[in-house]
Amino acid sequence: MANVEFERVTKRFDGGGRAAVSDLSLDVADGELLVVLGPSGCGKTTALRMLAGLEEPDAGDIRIGGESVVGWEPKDRDIALVFQQYALYPHLSVRDNILYPLKVQRIGKTDRMERVRRVADLLGLGALLDRRPAQLSGGEQQRVALGRAIVRQPQAFLMDEPLSNLDAKLRTQTRTEIKGLQRQLGVTTFFVTHDQAEAMTLADRIAVMSAGELQQIGTPDQVYDHPANRFVAEFIGSPPMNLLPAERVGDAAIVAGGWRIPVPVGAASGASVTVGLRPEAIRLAETPAPDAQPAEVYLIEPLGSEVIVNVKLGDHLIRVRTKPEVRPEPGQTVYLAAEPGGVRLFDAATGEALLG
Read off the pTM.
0.88
Architecture (CATH level 2) of domain 239-347: Beta Barrel (2.40)
Which amino acid, residue 307? Answer: V
CB 38 within 8 A of CB 54: no
CB 204 within 8 A of CB 33: yes
CA distance 206 to 261: 30
Q: Is the peptide bond prior to 239 cis by the omega test (within 30 degrees of 0)?
A: yes
Instruction: Return the pLDDT at 228.
Output: 95
Domain positions in the chain:
4-230, 239-347
Contacts 24+ apart (CB under 8 A), 220-229: 224/200, 224/278, 226/344, 226/353, 226/355, 227/276, 227/344, 227/353, 228/352, 228/353, 229/346, 229/350, 229/351, 229/352, 229/353
CA distance 288 to 303: 26
CATH number corresponding to 4-230:
3.40.50.300
Residues 35, 38, 41, 43, CA torsion sign? negative
Strands 188-193 and 33-37: parallel
Nearest to 29 by CA among 55, 61, 65, 56: 65
CA distance 354 to 347: 6
Q: What is the pLDDT along the chain (356 residues), one digit of tens a residue?
A: 689 999 999 999 876 678 999 999 999 999 999 999 999 999 999 999 999 999 999 999 999 999 999 999 988 898 988 877 777 889 999 998 998 888 877 888 888 888 888 888 877 888 889 999 889 887 788 788 888 888 887 889 999 988 877 778 778 877 887 888 788 878 899 999 999 999 999 999 999 999 999 999 999 999 999 999 999 999 999 899 999 999 888 788 888 778 999 887 665 555 788 999 999 999 999 998 888 999 999 999 999 999 999 999 988 999 999 999 999 999 999 999 999 889 999 988 899 998 64
- Measured in degrees and rounded to the nearest 5, phi and psi for residue 29 equal -70, 155
**203, HSE (Cβ side, Cα atoms, 13 Å):** 27
Nearest to 311 by CA among 336, 291, 288: 336
Bridge partner residues of 352 (DSSP)? 229
Helix (H) or strand (E) segment spanning residue 27: strand 21-28
Instruction: Return the pLDDT at 3.
Output: 93
Alpha helix (H) residue ranges in 186-256: 196-202, 220-225, 230-235
CA distance 323 to 306: 5
Instruction: Return the pLDDT at 356.
Output: 46
For the chain, helix, strand, coil in percent to 5 are 30, 35, 40
Instruction: Return the pLDDT at 24.
Output: 97
